[in-house]
Amino acid sequence: MNATVISSIITGACTIGASVATYVLTRSSEYRHNALLPKDRRHALEGLWTGQIEKHLPKPGTPDVYRLSVSLQISGKRVLGDATSSVQIEGKPVEQPFKLSGGFLDNKYLKMDYLSRMSGILEFGSFIAELDSEGRVLHGRFIGYGRRTSGLISGVIRLEKAA
């Protein structure tokens, strides 16, 4: 092999290595403030949760209480999940799926971001909830952007462990 080919191979390998390293460092620093939960708290959090969210100052003509079903899994310091909100609008059931990601800031407080899973639908936000000492109730507040209100929404979230 001549020097040009060897130089090209080395340059390509370094470019790929730098890209992989950047990705790994970015992902690990994103969750550096999250707490690594003890096994009992991990077990309490993982699984299915059900409850409701109640919007403060809802826009006229929009529901103020939604049912919520949430499934959570823990991967290292990250908490990942899926949620579905359900409500009756003009007598018809309406469901909205969400993707969740976040983590614990200590053994008690869960901070999660949510984003609509429906393409073309702009709905997102965050919530902070406290996991009670028995690991059966998550209670806190949320803020986000609501598609039906076309503006900011906020309120209370309360979930109980279902399974």
Secondary structure class of 31 (helix, strand, coil): coil
Compute the distance between CA of residue 50 and CA of residue 62 in angstroms, rounded to an integer.
Answer: 22
Mean pLDDT within 32-37: 71
Q: What is the mean pLDDT of the chain?
A: 84
Mean pLDDT within 6-11: 67
Residue 58 is classified by DSSP as P
Task: Write the secondary structure of 24-53 as one string of H (helix), E (strand) and C (coil).
Answer: HHHHHHHCCCCCCCCHHHHHHHCEEEEEEE
Residue 1 is classified by DSSP as -
Q: Which helix (H) or strand (E) holds 78?
A: strand 78-89
What are the boundaries of each domain within the chain? 1-30, 39-161
The CATH classification number of 39-161 equals: 2.40.128.120
pLDDT tens sequence across 67-103: 999 999 998 889 999 999 998 888 889 899 999 999 9
Give, in order, the Cα–Cα distances in Å from 101 to each of 9, 48, 95, 137: 38, 15, 20, 19
pLDDT tens sequence across 40-77: 888 889 999 999 999 887 667 677 889 999 999 998 88
Compute the distance between CA of residue 112 and CA of residue 118 in angstroms, rounded to an integer.
Answer: 19
Please count the other Cβ atoms lying within 10 Å of the Cβ belonging to residue 131.
Answer: 22
